[in-house]
A = this chain, B = another copy of it.
Amino acid sequence: MTTTPVSFALPTVPLRKGESTAQRILDAAEALFSERGFSGTTLRDVAARVGLRIPSLYNHFASKESLYAAVLERGFGPVLGVLSDFLDEGSESRGDATRVVERVMALLGQRPNLARLVVHETLSGGQRLTPLLRNWIAPIFARAHEMAETGPAARRWDAERIPLVVLAMYHVVVGYFAIAPLYLELNGSNLMTTSALARQTEFLKELVATLFPEE
C-alpha cells in the first residue's frame, strides 16, 4: 500500500565521459539503430548525425557493440521501471493494467524508437542484450506470469492461456509503434500524431477492460 522502493536498481546509462556529447551520440545512435537495426547502422552514419568524425565516437564508447548496449540500457530503464512498478508488491499501481498502458504509451509516444529497438532485439533473439538487461527481463517475465495467474486475467482465461494474453497485449502495444512508418508510407495516415496516440491509448484501455475484466 505504501510506496516501497522498487526492489532492484534501475539500470543507469554508463555515460563514460563528457555528458553532453555522449548524450548526443546516444540520441543519434538510438534513432539509427531503431530504424536500421544493429548491422544496418554504421558508425559513419552515427558520427555524421552528431557532427563528429568516427574516431571521436571511441572517446565516449568503447565499440559499436557497447554503444548499442548503452542505447538499450538508457532507453529501457524507464520502460522497465514502469513495468517493474506494475508488478512490484507494495507499489500503489501494482496490477493496474490500465495505468501501465497509459504510462507505457506516454513513454513510447515520446520515444517511439524504443519500441522499435525492442522489436529489433526480439528478432535477433536478444543476442545482444546486456547481462544487465537480461537480469531485468527475466524476473519481470516471471512476476508477470505469477501475477497474471492470480489477477483479474485469471477470471477470464484459464491458466495456460494467460501467457498468450500477456504476449498479445505486448505485441499490440509494441507493434503499433513498429508499424507506424510503414503505415504512413503505404496508407498516408500518421499513427504518431497526438490524437492518433490518444486514440490508440483509449483503444488499448478498452482492450484491457475486455481481456482483463475487473469484475
Contact = CB atoms under 8 A, between A and B. Distances in A.
Interface of A: 35-40, 116, 119-126, 134, 137-138, 141, 160-161, 164-165, 167-168, 170-172, 174-176, 178-179, 181-183, 185-187, 199-200, 203, 207, 210-211
Nearest to A175: B171
A104 to B, nearest CB: 15
A60 to B, nearest CB: 15
A160 B94 CA distance: 32
Given A38-B40, A160-B199, A126 B171 contact: no
Contacts of A161: 199, 203
Contact of A182 (B125, B174, B182): B125
Contacts of A36: 39, 124
Given A36-B39, A40-B38, A123 B178 contact: yes
Contact of A176 (B123, B171, B199): B171
Given A40-B39, A176-B171, A123 B134 contact: no
Contacts of A120: 123
Contacts of A167: 172, 175-176, 179, 183
A171 B179 contact: yes
Given A171-B171, A179-B167, A186 B37 contact: no
Contact of A119 (B119, B134, B200): B119
Contacts of A137: 186
A211 B209 CA distance: 12
Contact of A186 (B126, B172, B176): B126
Contacts of A170: 175
Contact of A168 (B125, B141, B207): B207
Given A171-B175, A171-B176, A141 B199 contact: no
20 contacts: A36-B124, A37-B37, A39-B39, A40-B124, A120-B123, A121-B182, A122-B179, A123-B178, A126-B186, A134-B186, A138-B186, A161-B199, A161-B203, A167-B175, A168-B172, A170-B175, A171-B171, A171-B179, A174-B175, A210-B211
